[in-house]
Structure 1
């Protein structure tokens, strides 16, 4: 027996005065993490706003837990969808605990207080997001990163079937990005929630998403993340023609002229990784057939060419030598 979808999008058209994107069909199922991506201005935010009813559908329909969203009141919608926006307007006089507690507001009468269980859950989430030292801080005293984490914590406390996140890691350092993105995926899997998020950090977004919703050249494409990414050449789609994604090195590189210089690297240690990045940045291509071989031994770098073995103490010295002596090496 198939589990009913949390979100169904059927032949949807979105826009403002006129449709900017049509024929959108997609589902979000329990436990799925979905990356919505496309170039700036393609309609990502417009789609999200249409899902949570800030904008009306210009055609087709949206169903949430089997109900047509057109017939869902704002009060009931807040029990079905929790949203974290990239820019938040909140009262600076709210303390962090109170800000996160707002996630329980849809379930309360104006006179009702938090239950003991709700309070314990909020403190648990605060601890999970490493925000305990800031529990009594006002919102205006929080860093952008901690405020972002608090908003995500609030959305999780809201405990809705569908969680929508617009650039959830935009204000976070790399350590917090990895932690938050891991927490979001675990939340979806453990609690059987559907998560739809946008991100300009494409590699990080692709790494955790089960499905990819791609808006490409005013066309809607959706499916298994890896299938869509491969078939639509996603990693090259978002960069200009003078750059490309190197699948071997797993990072973006600037296209080089045809007569570029080649180097072969031996070893897989951390220092070789950073040497590779420096070489590529300085116009070299890493190639297995190169006559120039560089290896690492005891924190030194050794250039092997023909009968010569030259040792250098740093990556900078290697680059300087190759720049100044490469032609001489081949002429000798």
Structure 2
């Protein structure tokens, strides 16, 4: 219970009214295999050693991300002025909202999607306008039909989290043409796992930004390193909308070293995840559940008892993601692909025990969605 002074201090501004803190439900008990957060592979210890020689100097200096910016600019064939290093993709998404949205404006989003997106829109004082997209093709007609004079931003997440669905280049081009005065913000956090990289398409559009991250395929979630790619005048607006030193020098140095030395290992991990994703989809179908096609590093599956499956896997030491606060996803479970043979075998055995022996957890017919 808040005291009277605390009630006066804690803001009642419309921008945060009704917004709780970001939390995910965790199973009770020890978890040895965390498949709830879509994290990537742990880098080799040699990566940290390579940066350790410079760490004392990096720690005492204010952050400088020019080295990483240069590497990413070269990688994507742009000038460094087109690149902004951010504290994960989350920082990039919030900067975009703060840079282009005002009270009275609207941002078009699909739902379900990364839940922080609507929060960032509201923190900027704008209104999120949501279009359902649970499965199937990207709903271009529905999104385009809502573009109006108050539309200042359109967000496309591809592959989408938590469904794994993807947009296509033609969708982005159509949205860019339909809303030339709006920012087309394309969240590509999981793009390494997709069939098509939409980054070149985004870079060719006059009003679009691509958001990328080192948290997923590159396995650096704990360092909080993401980046924005786009036209310099738009990137500068995002630079002004956040901290000037958002990413530590040590995080940026490790990310740069990861880019230089580990691309082959990362791509091998991506191929392993794609193989596991296909196998997991087949297994879940075989066991009577209803998985969605995915191009991310996870599979979203509809089951009869989502919480029961979550709890049963938790007792096996495996964490997966459920969405009890979202009516659209109450019957769905998101399962990350570990990208490691022994871990995947453990997941398969646990799913066979839970879904195979207790049919009450599976058996949903996707035709009912």
* TM-score normalised by length of structure 2: 0.28
* TM-score normalised by length of structure 1: 0.30
